[in-house]
Amino acid sequence: MTQQTANQGYIYTSISINQNLNMMKNSKLIEALNNCVAHCNYCADACLDSDDIKMMVACIRTDRACAEVCSATAKLLAANYEDVKAMVEYCHSVCKKCADECEGHEHQHCKDCAEACRKCAEACEAYLS
């Protein structure tokens, strides 16, 4: 084996290891994002059954926005698109806003959604660090 062949093997191994680390990092965030999407969609739907739906309008809109942003972010990460920093930062911001909105309501589905949004925001922070 020549030195060049040995170096190429090292380069390929390094690239492979970096890709695997990125995929693991992505999969952790994707899991949190998908969980957040599910909770936000459930919360928005449950809010539609509220007796005072006018009181839930901001919650429904925020849930829907959060679900869309998290879904789009998960799709980009699943595609191993590399330039996602700004999207993850925006997702973090939207998740925090959604959690704040949901925490303002007494419904269990809102509390559960707020918790999922907080965990997703934390996963975004971890991904960015």
pLDDT at 30: 96
- Work out the pLDDT band at 21, boundaries 50, 70, 90: low
Residue 32: give the domain boundaries. 25-128
> Residue 34: pLDDT above 60?
yes
Spatial neighbors of 69 by CB under 8 A, at least 6 apart, are 90, 91, 94
pLDDT at 82: 85
Residue 5 lies in a domain: no
Cα(63)–Cα(94) distance, rounded to whole angstroms?
A: 9
Q: Which of 121, 89, 107, 118 is nearest to 43 (CA)?
A: 107
* pTM score of the predicted model: 0.82
> Mean pLDDT, the chain, as a whole number?
87
Residue 121 lies in a domain: yes
pLDDT in tens, 36-48: 999 999 999 999 9
Q: How many structural domains are present in the chain? A: 1
Q: What is the CATH number of the domain that holds 99?
A: 1.20.1270.360
> Residue 127: pLDDT above 90?
yes
Write down how long the chain is: 129
Strand segments, DSSP code E, in the chain are none
Q: What is the DSSP letter of 55?
A: G
